[in-house]
Each structure stands twice: as structure tokens, then as C-alpha cells.
Copies of this chain bind each other. A is one copy, B any other.
């Protein structure tokens, strides 16, 4: 596989929206920012194929030629994410049908029915032509398939394909009835064509949920698989003509719609688009990077980020001076090998015209935003040999499972405010605050390389997961889980015999009941050392079987029963947290976990700074970032070192202003 030897720095570039006189000006300006990469052709289908029988590559040829001449790394889009108008007009079935049963027409983007044979036919034809034409261009560094795959279709065609998918999975209609517990509410089906896709006109209970979570979860899987088949179709078309260029598609962090762990197996590289809001916590931004890194346990491409503001949020604040730099280094610190922007030149019309860009509407390089982009570009250019492809290692694994995500949020009861990513983030934030590196892993990961495996709200236990967790703990590992874990199997049928089902032995507890707290309600708790705390959301009523209590509720009718426990199991330990703890109480439990498991932070010294670590070829690099709003002292371990970015010596007195960044070799 072709490997890029430099850190890509550039982004989405749409010269087709501009006259050619602008192109030369672009090249001139970009050079000042050490830009070396451009993502092109993402939305050009209508331009390349103006009608069913005509293809016209003239303009794209010119763009590729210019970029090649300038020695850009070209990230080449396949242009299949926005269908040409003629296709909708001639073949209305290419349009998706929404959850309300409405067939969509030409408009927007990302709206092709994934199971439309018409769509698939024209995609394959287009992508093969592109691969044949550009696949051997050495400047084509990466193929960018489609764009931000997502969404759902509920058309008749998808309904038929879903039934086939179900037949493959369940083999018999009896197995399907059992999996979905279709005897409930008299839903028993006898023929495959009696199955109706989940939608407002069928089993929906609210927008996007139905009376049968098993059905809904399987539809999610089917949709994720259908879109993945679209991706694979394009990939395979490319591979007919180009065996060496890496192929990716841009993902979206914790996006709910697609099982990204399954997708990543089919991709050469993970790439993704990072768009935090003005008030997104930096811990959450880090979480999404780590999740994307975890998909293949490899460095990733940052495919899109805005250099200044966005347009589609309610309040599109500017990035403050230094923020772009700090955010970029955080991205690299958590595993990125590229920094790419959306967009290189601000579009002049359409809904994204207020989205930030390297070159803004004023059209010159004389802007604050451009200066910050240029400074960063020059810095990265000097840095790339050191960092490119550096690895991250962690003692802590955090399980992220899309099946679980869907199942947990489809479930009716006990508390509608329980959200998967919020729960994940609450745990992640502890490790982030402590500067303890975390790997995100799938449910079927090899746990043995970790000291601690954390799986909050592990609602769905499927396949041999419980056994593998038992092996992990028995061998000395530390496992942490919570309320609403071990409840259901792959199709949302409850594991009978007492919660937490298959985890009961491992956790050494039986959860008799699960109380729900309304937003205005709190329970109080007391740790064994008499520290006081509060809980919210849900409360397990726990019976100790083999486990020991870490503390007990002090009010409600289950006062004196444990809210959290530890269980010695073989050589290791399981922590079970039976309620949503306030952040201080959770910190207390997780500090206990880290002590038990001998997990230590990236640097021993306490600091409010974010400190991350990547290593390559025997060398280690610390990324030191100030995301607080106050100036912070340098951790003394770094005094006497040199900041590789500014090539400045660090002393005991060095301080970091907000958004300051240091890079220090270990």
C-alpha cells in the first residue's frame, strides 16, 4: 500500500465553483501556509456526468494536473454523495423514503437509497472511470469514497432487502419470532413478507423508536450494512484499477447510525470530520479522537475541521486566537496524522457560505485566520518526520459498542434521559482529567493487553463477551461496569435469572430492582470512609453475593444497600457501580480502580493541563496543552527540556497561557 511520507495539511478544495483565474491565486496563497494536500471532487457528480450517457472529465483533469504539478497530495473524492438531478428525474426510486414513508426527490445530499440497483449501477460506472483515469497518478494519495455516510431509507426496496438480510441471519421465521419476542402484542409472523420496516406507519412509538427494539436494532444493523456494501462496492471498483492507494471515507465521531468498528475493518485508513460546538467540553473532543483512533487502533486522518467558525450550528462562534493551533495539536496528540480543513476557499453561495475557510470571502491572505493557518502549517511541516505514524499505548480500555448504543436508547424504561454517549463521556472524562491514556475498543477486543477494561451501561451482552471478560478478570485484570449492564442479548431479549445476567458471577452482585429518578430527584450516598455523595438518573438495588460494598445509599427505601461494589474474581477485580454518581464520587471510585490496577497517568505530577504521549521509533513525545481559561504552571518534570514547536528552552518558571501548546521529547 502506498504510504504518504508527509503530514497532510490542506482540505476540501472546490475549484469547480470558481473561475480558473482564481485557481492560480489559490496556489499562490496556499503555498504561504505550507499547504500540501487537497481533497477534491467530493460533490462533482453532476459536473462529471451531466446526463445519463455523457461523462466529462475536462475540468477535473485540469484540477488534478495543476495539483500534481504543485506536488500536492490529492485526496480524491468519488463524488457519489450527491446524485445528479437527471437521475432523480429519470429514476425516482434512487431517492430515499423517510421514517414517515415519504419518497424524497432531488435535493440536499446523502439521500440515495443504498439498496437501489440504479444507484449502485451508476456509482460503479462512475467510480471505475475515476479509478481507471486517476488511479495511477502518484499524487493521488488517498481515495475518499462518498462523504459522511449516514441516514436511513425505509422504501419498499429496502424492506425487501431487509427481509433477505433477516433470512440470512435467522434462517427460520420461528427463530425471528423468538429473537424479537413477537408473541408480545400478538406480532407473530408466518411469512417473511409480513415483516414491515420500522417506521411511523408501522411499529413506531416515537420518531425512530418502535414497540420492538429487536426489530429496530436489526434495522439499524441492516442499514449500517447496506451503506457498508455501498462503500465496499466503490472500494472494489477502485481496486480493479488501483491496488496501492489507501481508501477511506470520512466518519463522524460518535455518530449513532453506523457500526464504525465493523466499517473500519473494510477501510485502509480511518478519517473523520471534527466539529465541536462553542460549548463542547475539550474532554469530549478528545474522546471522539480517541474513539476514531481506536477503530483500527491506528493513527487516523483528520479529514475536516473548520479553521474559524461553522455555519450550521445555532451559534457559530469564532475560534479565538491560538484555539486552532491548540485544537490541531490535541487532534495530533490523540492520534491524527493529518490536519485538513473544510474548506480551502469560502464558497460564495449555498448553505455553507458562512462556514470558515482558509481563504475567506475577502479573498486574500491578509486575515487573522489565514495567518494562524499559515503559522500552524509551517510548524507542522517542520515536525512531521518526528510524529508521523507515532503510536499511542494505554493501560485502560473503554468499550464502545454500537449495538449497545442502539439497544440502550431504544429501550422503553426505566429513565428516558439515559444516553449512551453521555455515560461513556462521564467515565472518559475522569481519565482525561487525570491524563491517563484510554483506548476505545470494540466488544470483541483482545482485553488481555489492558490493566483495566471499563464498560459503562453494558446493556447488551452478546456472543462470548461475558466469558472473555471473566477470563480477563480471572487472569488479574480489573473490570468496571455499571447499572443497566448485562440486561439483554443481541436482540434485546432479557437474560433471565437476575440482573446483571451474564455478569452476575463476575460482579458478585444481584440487582433486584432498578429505580428511576426524575430530574429533580437525588439520592444521597456514603462511602465506607464516610465521604458523602449524591446519585441521580437510576439506582440499582444491589444484593451482595460475592462482592464487597464500597458504600451505601443513605436515603430512599433502599438506604443501607450498596451503591457500588468490588468483587475479587480469580486474580482480578470487578467494580460494579449501581447508580449515576456525581463527578466527585465517580472520581473516588475510579481512583480506587486505578490504584487497584496500578494504572498511572502520563505524568505523575498533578496538573490542569492536558498531557498526552505518542511514541515512534523509540522516541516519545509529550503534547502539553492548556485548555483551561487561566495561565498554568509548567509541570516541573518538563523543566530543562525544549519545546520542539518554538524551539524554546523550558524552565521551572515557564507558564502556559490559555491555548498554549508545548511539544517535548521524552
- A residues near B (Cβ < 8 Å) are 14, 16-17, 43-47, 50-51, 79, 82-86, 88-89, 100-109, 180-181, 183-191, 193-196, 200-205, 210-214, 278-279, 308-318, 320-321, 346-355, 360-363, 367-369, 411-417, 488, 491-494, 496-499, 510, 512-519, 541, 557
User: Is B183 within 8 A of A17, CB to CB?
Assistant: yes
- Alpha-carbon distance A581/B249, docked complex (angstroms): 45
- Alpha-carbon distance A86/B186, docked complex (angstroms): 12
Pick from B107, B213, B278, B368: contact of A512, CB under 8 Å = B368
Pick from B104, B309, B413, B491: contact of A354, CB under 8 Å = B413
Nearest chain-B residue to A82 (Cβ)?
Answer: B186
- Alpha-carbon distance A510/B363, docked complex (angstroms): 13
A367 neighbours in B (Cβ, 8 Å)? 512-513
Pick from B315, B496, B497, B513: contact of A517, CB under 8 Å = B315
Pick from B181, B194, B202: contact of A350, CB under 8 Å = B181
User: Is A107 within 8 A of B309, CB to CB?
Assistant: no
User: Is A351 within 8 A of B211, CB to CB?
Assistant: yes
16 A-B pairs besides A88-B194, A100-B102, A317-B515 with CB distance below 8 A are: A86-B190, A108-B205, A181-B349, A212-B350, A214-B350, A311-B414, A314-B416, A315-B415, A315-B416, A318-B514, A346-B494, A349-B488, A362-B496, A363-B498, A368-B513, A369-B513
- Alpha-carbon distance A178/B279, docked complex (angstroms): 36
User: Is B187 within 8 A of A82, CB to CB?
Assistant: yes
Pick from B103, B194, B352: contact of A86, CB under 8 Å = B194
22 sample A-B contacts, Cβ–Cβ < 8 Å, listed by A number: A17-B183, A43-B186, A79-B186, A84-B188, A88-B194, A105-B196, A106-B196, A108-B203, A108-B204, A108-B211, A184-B347, A214-B349, A308-B513, A312-B412, A314-B415, A315-B414, A321-B557, A351-B412, A353-B492, A360-B512, A362-B498, A369-B513
- Alpha-carbon distance A308/B514, docked complex (angstroms): 10
User: Is A186 within 8 A of B46, CB to CB?
Assistant: yes
Assuming A200-B102, A202-B107, A212-B350, is B86 touching A191 (CB within 8 A)?
A: yes
- Alpha-carbon distance A346/B513, docked complex (angstroms): 13
CB distance from A5 to the nearest CB of B (A): 32
Assuming A102-B100, A311-B413, is B86 touching A184 (CB within 8 A)?
A: no
- Alpha-carbon distance A186/B40, docked complex (angstroms): 12
CB distance from A144 to the nearest CB of B (A): 14
Nearest chain-B residue to A504 (Cβ)?
Answer: B362
Assuming A210-B107, A413-B311, is B185 touching A496 (CB within 8 A)?
A: no
A200 neighbours in B (Cβ, 8 Å)? 102
Pick from B89, B103, B496: contact of A201, CB under 8 Å = B103
User: Is A185 within 8 A of B493, CB to CB?
Assistant: no
A514 neighbours in B (Cβ, 8 Å)? 318, 354
User: Is B413 within 8 A of A316, CB to CB?
Assistant: yes
- Alpha-carbon distance A621/B140, docked complex (angstroms): 78
User: Is B512 within 8 A of A362, CB to CB?
Assistant: yes
Nearest chain-B residue to A519 (Cβ)?
Answer: B315
CB distance from A108 to the nearest CB of B (A): 6
- Alpha-carbon distance A187/B189, docked complex (angstroms): 44
User: Is A184 within 8 A of B43, CB to CB?
Assistant: yes
CB distance from A197 to the nearest CB of B (A): 9
- Alpha-carbon distance A493/B346, docked complex (angstroms): 11
CB distance from A605 to the nearest CB of B (A): 30
- Alpha-carbon distance A82/B213, docked complex (angstroms): 18
Assuming A184-B349, A493-B349, A499-B361, is B513 touching A201 (CB within 8 A)?
A: no
User: Is B413 within 8 A of A310, CB to CB?
Assistant: yes
User: Is B107 within 8 A of A498, CB to CB?
Assistant: no
A181 neighbours in B (Cβ, 8 Å)? 17, 347-350, 353
Assuming A86-B191, A212-B350, A351-B205, is B185 touching A108 (CB within 8 A)?
A: yes
A88 neighbours in B (Cβ, 8 Å)? 194, 196
Pick from B194, B203, B361, B518: contact of A317, CB under 8 Å = B518
Assuming A351-B412, A557-B320, is B494 touching A361 (CB within 8 A)?
A: yes
User: Is A185 within 8 A of B314, CB to CB?
Assistant: no
A101 neighbours in B (Cβ, 8 Å)? 102
Assuming A309-B516, A317-B517, A414-B311, is B103 touching A186 (CB within 8 A)?
A: no
Pick from B51, B103, B107, B518: contact of A315, CB under 8 Å = B518
- Alpha-carbon distance A191/B12, docked complex (angstroms): 28
Pick from B183, B313, B318, B488: contact of A16, CB under 8 Å = B183
Which 5 A-B residue pairs are closest in the complex by CB-CB distance?
Answer: A181-B349, A311-B413, A354-B413, A184-B350, A107-B202
- Alpha-carbon distance A360/B496, docked complex (angstroms): 9
User: Is B106 within 8 A of A43, CB to CB?
Assistant: no
A417 neighbours in B (Cβ, 8 Å)? 314-315
- Alpha-carbon distance A283/B228, docked complex (angstroms): 56
User: Is A363 within 8 A of B496, CB to CB?
Assistant: yes
Nearest chain-B residue to A539 (Cβ)?
Answer: B318
User: Is B203 within 8 A of A107, CB to CB?
Assistant: yes
Nearest chain-B residue to A183 (Cβ)?
Answer: B17
Nearest chain-B residue to A180 (Cβ)?
Answer: B349
- Alpha-carbon distance A194/B200, docked complex (angstroms): 30
Nearest chain-B residue to A89 (Cβ)?
Answer: B194
A309 neighbours in B (Cβ, 8 Å)? 413-414, 513, 515-516
